[in-house]
Amino acid sequence: MKDFKGKVAVITGAASGLGKEFAKTGATLGMKLILADVQQDALDNCLSELRAQGADAVGLKTDVSSGEDMQALADLVCREYGTVNLLFNNAGVTSSGFVWEHTQQDWAWVINVNLYGVINGIRIFTPLMIKESSRNPDYHGHIINTASMAGLLTAPSQGIYNVSKHAVVALSEALYHDLEIVTDKIHCSVLCPSYVRTNIADSSRNRPDNLINHTDLTLSQQVARDSVADSVGAGDVSAAEVSETTFQAIRNEDFYIFPSKGSLARVKRRMEDILAQKNPADWFQNAPAISARRQRLLEAFGQNSR
């Protein structure tokens, strides 16, 4: 897709972080915006900011893990604009700690948002896009699924997040191959940033009541959570830079989007180890900046076990 003016973009997780930057970029390019987020006040503020700048934007409070909510979002799109050109399956949350320490509620929350949110977007919106591509010879569409470098790597104490994002990468690759069979008018990408300066470390603010734990975090979960917050705060790329990279990838019809290319060396080493059938490499080896995290986790786990 080369020309964005007048095209329609649907963005989940649109009220903050990457989603908000996608919306701002789309508005600058003259796109019509449909914004979805589970946090109503943040969504209202985002819409007000964009409209004050002249953007054509509507919004709907949406829980992406709910098929009913996502269908309501699609119905809004059809009523307001009749079509969608860009679909950003972007909403995401995170939870940290050793994999055996996570509760059933932890797994349900992270998988429901990070994976089922993308599944629902693909399941509900792709047929609409394919139908429009058959009807309109000038139609162009693109689906962008937000994964993470955690979809290609397996950092310790991030297992629950890694699992969800690996699934998004696999789902996106499957979507790419399936779309190739049926149309050349709809493309897709998987976005895999590393640490980006957003508020994802505070995603528990939107955790649904029925999936809240009623026990305190373990010490190792607290250490892992704080380490993630520190890494996000020190991220080497901004959400605005990720948005710029993503829109350029859409123009180029690139599938893999890596805003943080410095992480690719770790991906290369992991893939080489897999092909050589080596055991997973020590995550902290030759990484003095994060090696202290291992000691903190060990100390915290030792105190958990007393």
Is residue 197's pLDDT more than 80? no
Is residue 288's pLDDT more than 60? no
CATH at residue 151:
3.40.50.720
In a domain, 297, yes or no: no
Q: Convert the pLDDT of each residue in 5-41 to its tens digit.
A: 999 999 999 999 999 999 999 999 999 999 999 999 9
Is residue 306's pLDDT more than 60? no
Number of domain units in the chain: 1
Q: Convert the pLDDT of each residue in 108-166 to its tens digit.
A: 999 999 999 999 999 999 999 999 999 999 999 999 999 999 999 998 889 999 999 99
Whole-prediction pTM: 0.92
In a domain, 293, yes or no: no
The pLDDT of 75-104, averaged and rounded, is: 94
In a domain, 304, yes or no: no
> Which positions ≥6 away from 174 have C-beta within 8 Å?
none
Instruction: List the catalytic residues.
Output: 161
**CA gap 115, 168 in Å, rounded:** 6
Which pLDDT score, from 0 to 100, does residue 21 have?
96
Domain membership of residue 79 as a residue range: 8-262
In a domain, 272, yes or no: no
Q: Which of helix, strand or coil describes residue 97?
A: strand
305: burial class by Cβ within 10 Å (0-12, 13-18, 19+)? Answer: exposed
In a domain, 95, yes or no: yes
In a domain, 45, yes or no: yes
**CA gap 87, 168 in Å, rounded:** 15
In a domain, 36, yes or no: yes
In a domain, 174, yes or no: yes
